[in-house]
Structure 1
């Protein structure tokens, strides 16, 4: 199981809005399923100049997310992105059903800009846009579902009506510590770019794959 299909679908959330040039959602691998707004909930926590978003996954599948912040009351263009978060290209970084994860916002850095810089967000008031998608392994075995704002869900029906407004620096309790990412799974012998999947799914059931 390569990490590439998961990465491709995460980047399709952007539809040109994120941190790199990406494909549009119209080229998604499978039709989308109806998403219940309460299945994925995002809530912010601000402590000083640090912003952490808690992503709660009440859906039936694992999800990956793309989040970005722009100056309040400005058009959410790629050139205006100040900070954000994108699920790393690891299976262990996905948010499992019935769990929550605290993800740190990072200043964008590099060309094209990506959310890899400092967690110290510049002073100001920001609007945070977000999008999360189910990640099905193997790819294409089930319809994908999406949650979030428009953008990044430019070709989808958003489940959140407005971006999240935050001010930095913020007064309040210390922001929760982000959870460490789970190490990448071992790879198939002789194929260093192919990870051993956590499970193999058939249309009727999924079966765990024991590690060697």
Structure 2
């Protein structure tokens, strides 16, 4: 298998890339074959200022995805995109059937904006739009199936009715409370008028030891 058809197949997915024109409905992904909404799902995870989206592929083919985030309740235009993810043009980057993959969100950079910047997402609340499609080799040999929101998937019925809402607070994971170094058992009473000497728990003779009762 050569690199050229693999790249071509992934580029076909990127024809409607939201980073280039998030609101340009005239640049639409190809019509889709019938797809079950539960075959591809996403689940967000936020830690500190990082966002990861777990993509689960229960379809019967490999998939590639394009994802972008905008400020909550804002129009998903290209100029509004803050961060995102796009499957690299590598066969190994595709998500195989029956597997899940955690994809990191990155700040957009360049012109047109692409998700190649820092993984540190600014504090705020965001709506994440996503789209995934099956990748076939050679390209066009089978009709691709699509899952996700609209946009980035356009000219089709989305399988997800609303974007994923996440809030980035900048707070890291909770740190455990420090363990106390204090003894877990109370101290023995001290000898009267000799506060630095504790009464022992037992007294021993050469033939036996006898416990001393507490007062």
Moved more, 137-146 or 41-50: 137-146
Instruction: Give the structure 2 partner of residue 44 of structure 1.
Output: 44
Q: Contact 1:54–1:103 (CA<8 Å) still a contact in 2? A: yes
1:9 aligned onto 2:3: no
The alignment status of 1:106 with 2:106, answered yes or no, reads yes
- 2:119 corresponds to: 119
Q: How does 1:1-212 map to 2 (within 5 A)?
A: 1=2, 2=4, 3-14=6-17, 17-19=18-20, 24-25=27-28, 28=30, 32-169=32-169
| Structure 1: tracts of 5 or more residues without a match | 175-212
Distance 2:130 2:89 in 1: 18
Q: 1:98 to 1:173 in 2, by over 3 A?
A: farther
2:128 match: secondary structure: strand
Structure 2 residues without counterparts, runs of 5 or longer:
175-215
TM-score (structure 2 length as normaliser):
0.73
Q: How many matched pairs?
A: 169
Shift of 1:96: 0.4
CA contact (8 A) 1:20 1:113 kept: no
For normalisation by structure 1, the TM-score amounts to 0.74
Contact 2:54-2:103 at 8 Å conserved across structures = yes
Deviation (angstroms), 1:10: 2.0
